[in-house]
Structure 1
Amino acid sequence: MVIAIARRAATAVVTLALSAFFVFFATQALPGDVAEQLLGRNATPEAVATLRERLGLDTNVWLRFVEWLGNAATGDFGVSLVSGNAVAPVVWTAFSHTLIIAVPAIVFGIGLSVLLGVYAGARRGRTADSAISVATLAAMSIPEFVVATVLVLVFAIALPIFPAVVLAGSEATFGELVPAAILPIVTLILAMSAYIVRATRTSVVDGLESEHAISATMKGVAPRRVLWRHVLPTAMLPVLPVIALNVAWLLGGVVVVESVFNYPGLGKLMIDSVSTRDLPVLQAIALLSALVYVSVNLLADLVAMLFDPRQRPSNTRPSKTRPGRAARRVPSPTSTTEVTE
């Protein structure tokens, strides 16, 4: 078990290192010159050369990558090309704002989705199952920005209950963000729940049709006990990757939802950094998103290994006896048994 966990952790570290490599060189391969874009078209060649030297753009790209990777490992992502402030505090502030809408969406969204999926799977073919299936298909077909726009029209304009957008920007306090986070949370729950409900329902249906569930029912076990005790523990294993992807999507910054509500989270910061070509901020956001995806998927693998013994490595060693021949028994020197020809 320890060896398996170490292997998964090593794979996660290698994946993160490869992500850092591709993130850095992808931003370096973007067309155009950063110094020329920052100074404008009327900048003199001397000013452009001076800025390139100050930003370190005139040095070898591999040396810049090694230096950037070493600084990133210590939490130093450099300085923003636009504001001149340190990148790390800006990114962590935006990430904390994203957590305000992501954590409630994860807690309520996953709990509600699993319950609806189990309820629909246990009542396969009935009215409740059909209604839940139609609702989830409709939710999967409607984009997030449409749901967000409808919620703004209904609950911010027609019925002015919640604020439509965040006006204070990144300087908004926690008290100002909480009322404005309600509509984004509802949008995220509707966007992520449909996939988890469908996966849970399918897995529960397959579990109820399995041999061990049928055998338990034939032995007189109550249907509710069969569902929650015999089916659900194994039925949740195929749902874990779906949950992990949705959690990583939420924590990595939901770009569309944050842009619609002007919410100062990680996704909104990424859009602003792309428009201003702020490469250090983009690199930090991309690396943080990769770290979130790797960590969440690693956690999902560990949970699956904990509840599914089949995914654990076997500790049994193969026998060294050659096939087809039995091992010869050698009598002990202290044995009193006489061996006769």
Structure 2
Amino acid sequence: MLALLSRRALGLAATLLVVSILIFLVMNVLPGDPAAIMLGTSAQPETLAALRTQMGLDEPAVVRFGLWIGGSLTGDLGTSTTYGVPVAGLIAERLAVTLPLAAMAIALSMALAIPLGVLAAARQGRWPDALVTVFTQASVALPNFWIGLLLILVFAVTLGWLPAGGFPGWETGLLPALSALLLPAVALALPQAGILTRVTRTAVLDVLGEDFVRTARAKGLTRRAALWRHAVPNALVPVVTILGLQFTFLIAGSVLVENIFGLPGLGRLALQAFTQRDLIVMQSVVLLFAGLVIIVNFLVDLAYLVLDPRLRGRGAA
């Protein structure tokens, strides 16, 4: 199994290198001069040249790429041309918002989707199954930014239970910080919960039709016991697969949701850096997003090995 994990880790490292090259190429072929955008069209040529030198834009692309990758490996991501602060510290501050938000969204999605999916499979063709189907169709059809606006209208404006936006910071206490993240997490979780519910229902139904489940029932095991002891654990592999894919959609959805709720997270930083043509911040944030997705996929592979012992045997072979 160690050899299998080593091969996966090398593959992920190679993937990250290829992604970093693509990110650099895309960022550097975008139309427009970042220095001209920052200073405006009325800037003098001498001023533009000085700013380009300060930003390192007068260096060859290969040199700039090498400096960026070398700095990324040592934690030196450069200095933001917009904020005038180190990019590493800027990203670390925003990660303190985005990572808890993503973790809350995934936890809420799992807590809602897995029980509903199992319930729909256990009551196939009955009214609980119909209600779950309505929920999944509605949650998938509604975009997360519209759900966010609706949550603000109901729970912040009308009821006044939760804040409509902003983030007070973790230093103010755990409860105020989590209260500020709750509505954005729900807005991110509901569309993903609809997808995960349908996958869970299908996976459980497939396992319930297997021979080993029918054998367990024939030996006297109750339907409930067969469901939770045999069907649900064996149906978790496709569920874990979807969870890994959903992390990518959560990262993409955070760009809109964080701006709607005014959260100082990575999604909002990425949008601000894009509009201001802050190449250093844009490259670093996108690379971090890609790295997070690659790490989550690696964790999904580890979960496969835990959930399905047959994969460990194949890896050893």
TM over 0.5: yes
| Partners of 2:153 and 2:96 in 1: CA distance | 27
Report the residue type matching 2:228 in the other structure. W
Q: Is the 8 A contact 1:121 1:201 kept in 2?
A: yes
| Partners of 1:172 and 1:306 in 2: CA distance | 34
> What whole-Å deviation, never above 9, does each CA across 1:214-257 have from its counterpart, x for those lacking one?
22212222212211222222211111111112234435771111
Report the residue type matching 1:299 in the other structure. L
Counterpart of 1:94? Answer: 94
Bigger helix share: 2
Secondary structure at the aligned position of 1:164 is classed as coil
Q: Is the 8 A contact 1:274 1:282 kept in 2?
A: yes
Measured after TM superposition, the shift of residue 315 of structure 1 is 4.4
Measured after TM superposition, the shift of residue 296 of structure 1 is 0.5
Counterpart of 1:150? Answer: 150
Secondary structure at the aligned position of 1:232 is classed as helix
| Partners of 1:15 and 1:246 in 2: CA distance | 19
Secondary structure at the aligned position of 1:163 is classed as coil
Closer, same or farther: CA 14–167 of 1 in aligned 2, 3 Å: closer
Taking structure 1 as the reference length, the TM-score comes to: 0.87
Secondary structure at the aligned position of 1:239 is classed as helix
Structure 2: give runs of 5+ residues left out of the alignment. none
The reply to whether residue 40 of structure 1 matches residue 36 of structure 2 is: no
Counterpart of 1:105? Answer: 105
Measured after TM superposition, the shift of residue 174 of structure 1 is 4.5
The reply to whether residue 135 of structure 1 matches residue 139 of structure 2 is: no
Runs of 4+ in 1 over 4 A off after TM superposition: 171-176
| Partners of 1:107 and 1:236 in 2: CA distance | 15
Q: Is the 8 A contact 1:252 1:292 kept in 2?
A: no
Closer, same or farther: CA 172–274 of 1 in aligned 2, 3 Å: farther
Counterpart of 1:240? Answer: 240
Secondary structure at the aligned position of 2:241 is classed as helix
Secondary structure at the aligned position of 2:237 is classed as coil
1:242-321 alignment, distance < 5 Å: 242-250=242-250, 254-312=254-312, 313=314, 315=316
| Partners of 1:36 and 1:256 in 2: CA distance | 28
Counterpart of 1:22? Answer: 22
Secondary structure at the aligned position of 1:4 is classed as helix
| Partners of 2:2 and 2:252 in 1: CA distance | 29
Secondary structure at the aligned position of 1:80 is classed as coil
Taking structure 2 as the reference length, the TM-score comes to: 0.93
Secondary structure at the aligned position of 1:190 is classed as helix
Counterpart of 2:77? Answer: 77
| Partners of 1:114 and 1:7 in 2: CA distance | 32
Counterpart of 2:68? Answer: 68
Measured after TM superposition, the shift of residue 109 of structure 1 is 2.2
| Partners of 2:253 and 2:66 in 1: CA distance | 27
Secondary structure at the aligned position of 1:85 is classed as coil
Measured after TM superposition, the shift of residue 69 of structure 1 is 0.3
| Partners of 1:6 and 1:77 in 2: CA distance | 28
Structure 1: give runs of 5+ residues left out of the alignment. 317-341
Measured after TM superposition, the shift of residue 116 of structure 1 is 1.3
Measured after TM superposition, the shift of residue 108 of structure 1 is 2.9
The reply to whether residue 56 of structure 1 matches residue 62 of structure 2 is: no
| Partners of 1:98 and 1:68 in 2: CA distance | 24
Aligned residues with identical type, % of pairs: 38
Secondary structure at the aligned position of 1:139 is classed as helix
Measured after TM superposition, the shift of residue 6 of structure 1 is 0.8
Report the residue type matching 2:237 in the other structure. L
CA-atom RMSD, angstroms?
Answer: 1.9
Closer, same or farther: CA 145–314 of 1 in aligned 2, 3 Å: closer
| Partners of 1:34 and 1:108 in 2: CA distance | 40
| Partners of 1:244 and 1:144 in 2: CA distance | 19
| Partners of 2:35 and 2:235 in 1: CA distance | 55
Range 305-314 or range 131-140, more displaced: 305-314
The reply to whether residue 184 of structure 1 matches residue 184 of structure 2 is: yes
Aligned residues: 314
Measured after TM superposition, the shift of residue 172 of structure 1 is 8.3
| Partners of 1:105 and 1:68 in 2: CA distance | 32
Measured after TM superposition, the shift of residue 201 of structure 1 is 0.5
Q: Is the 8 A contact 1:36 1:48 kept in 2?
A: yes
